[in-house]
Copies of this chain bind each other. A is one copy, B any other.
Amino acid sequence: MSDPRILTVRPEPGEYAWTFGGSAPVARITPGTVLDLFTEDCFAGRVRSTRDFVSEVCDFPFLNPQTGPFHVEGAEPGDTVAVHFVSIEPARDWAASTTVPLFGALTSTHTTATLQPPLPEVVWMWQLDRERGTCRFTARDSDIEIDLPMDPMHGTVGVAPANLEVRSALVPDAHGGNMDTPEMRSGVTCYLGVNVEGALLSLGDGHARQGEGETCGVAVECAMNTVVIVELLKGVQTPWPRIESDTHIMSTGSARPLEDAFRISQLDLVQWLARDYGLSELDAYQLLSQAGEAPLANVCDTNYTSVAKIRKEWLPAGEPHRGLHRHLRETAAVLTR
């Protein structure tokens, strides 16, 4: 790749997108463009202390602001957009997490509807030490403090959905969106199937770190400075968002009940193995059954998200997408030198 074009986007407050689809692009980019982005946190930056309750300071449905969308030139339905995460760096030295009334895995919700009152609304402020790479949990009901390693990621990355739809940025589905998987960290390439001309890629919802399942519904929410390289794979279909790291290939599925999210992710990985690694579907099913990892992403959003992953070193010869991930890693290495 020759000298990559770099586009810097740091949106002003009124310039975020709140949906996938339905928003005018902020820029047109050519494949190969490096995007140097600022993303606001899922609260639009409004939760800044333990007294800032989401139900009071946030303005529904203006949650989960997205930086974008970007129109990728030449992208058409049937193609795949590849988003390589070069770096994801917290933009502040604090982050916030909260309970949200009737949201999360260990509470009844608007859909798992019960007559019980919601859990109390509590905010936890996390201090980030960017030098040491840690984030500090401060308990609210005792004087316990714990330093955890940071592991920055994006909860949300996606394109405009199919079927003429516009979806809230809080929703994960086949177009990507709010998948909330810790696997979306720097160094990986995310593959997204294109549904509309230009793809209309956007991302946001940075997390300084997140547990698998995102149990309380909210991660260590943090504004981010993020660099990605966007590429285009013409004529390659990607039915559900896929992720490639140096060590693994991964498929995601987003649905309810959770077993359907699992089924989608597993079937997609079986079919990926069959397409790119020369295994029959049943042989791939067997191999994945014995060699796969299945970390949950979120069990709290509109759809739940499950990840199916397998180590590349355990696969037969084969490299998906003509080595694009390896190539992007090299480009990224030059960028971050």
B148 in contact with A314 (CB, 8 Å): yes
Given A106-B267, A168-B165, A286-B137, answer yes or no on A262-B296 (Cβ-Cβ < 8 Å).
yes
Q: CB within 8 A of A139: which of B108, B144, B209, B280?
A: B280
Chain B residues contacting A21 (CB-CB under 8 Å) are 166
What is the minimal beta-carbon distance from A110 to any residue of chain B, in angstroms? 8
Count how many chain A residues have C-beta atoms less than 8 Å from C-beta atoms of the other chain: 92
Number of copies of this protein chain within its complex:
4
Report if A52 contacts B (CB, 8 A). no
Chain A binding surface SS class: loop
B-binding segment of A84-92, A115-123, A197-205, A320-328: A115-123
What is the minimal beta-carbon distance from A27 to any residue of chain B, in angstroms? 21
Nearest residue (CB) in B for A146 is B314
Within 8 A of B (CB), among A88-140: 97, 99, 105-108, 110-120, 122, 124, 137, 139-140
A289 in contact with B22 (CB, 8 Å): no
A258 vs B259: C-alpha distance when bound (angstroms) = 5
Chain B residues contacting A60 (CB-CB under 8 Å) are 163
A283 in contact with B141 (CB, 8 Å): yes
Report if A216 contacts B (CB, 8 A). yes
A279 vs B218: C-alpha distance when bound (angstroms) = 19
Within 8 A of B (CB), among A180-219: 209-219
Nearest residue (CB) in B for A164 is B19
B165 in contact with A282 (CB, 8 Å): no
B263 in contact with A111 (CB, 8 Å): yes
What is the minimal beta-carbon distance from A62 to any residue of chain B, in angstroms? 9
B278 in contact with A140 (CB, 8 Å): no
A231 vs B61: C-alpha distance when bound (angstroms) = 27
- Which of A108, A268, A282 is the most central at the interface, judged by chain B CB atoms within 10 Å of its CB? A282
Within 8 A of B (CB), among A1-42: 18-19, 21-22
Report if A48 contacts B (CB, 8 A). no
Q: CB within 8 A of A209: which of B112, B118, B255, B290?
A: B290
Nearest residue (CB) in B for A220 is B290
Within 8 A of B (CB), among A256-308: 256-260, 262-264, 266-268, 270, 278-283, 285-296, 299, 304, 306, 308
A262 in contact with B166 (CB, 8 Å): no
0 or 1 for each of A60-97: is its CB under 8 Å from B? (1 = yes): 11000000000000000000000000000000000001
B266 in contact with A137 (CB, 8 Å): no
Report if A316 contacts B (CB, 8 A). yes
What is the minimal beta-carbon distance from A16 to any residue of chain B, in angstroms? 12
A-B contact pairs, 18 of them (CB 8 A): A60-B163, A105-B263, A106-B266, A108-B108, A111-B260, A112-B112, A113-B263, A113-B268, A115-B119, A137-B291, A140-B280, A140-B283, A146-B314, A217-B289, A219-B290, A220-B290, A256-B259, A258-B259
Binding site for B on A (CB under 8 A): 18-19, 21-22, 60-61, 97, 99, 105-108, 110-120, 122, 124, 137, 139-142, 144, 146, 148, 162-168, 170, 209-220, 253, 255-260, 262-264, 266-268, 270, 278-283, 285-296, 299, 304, 306, 308, 314-316
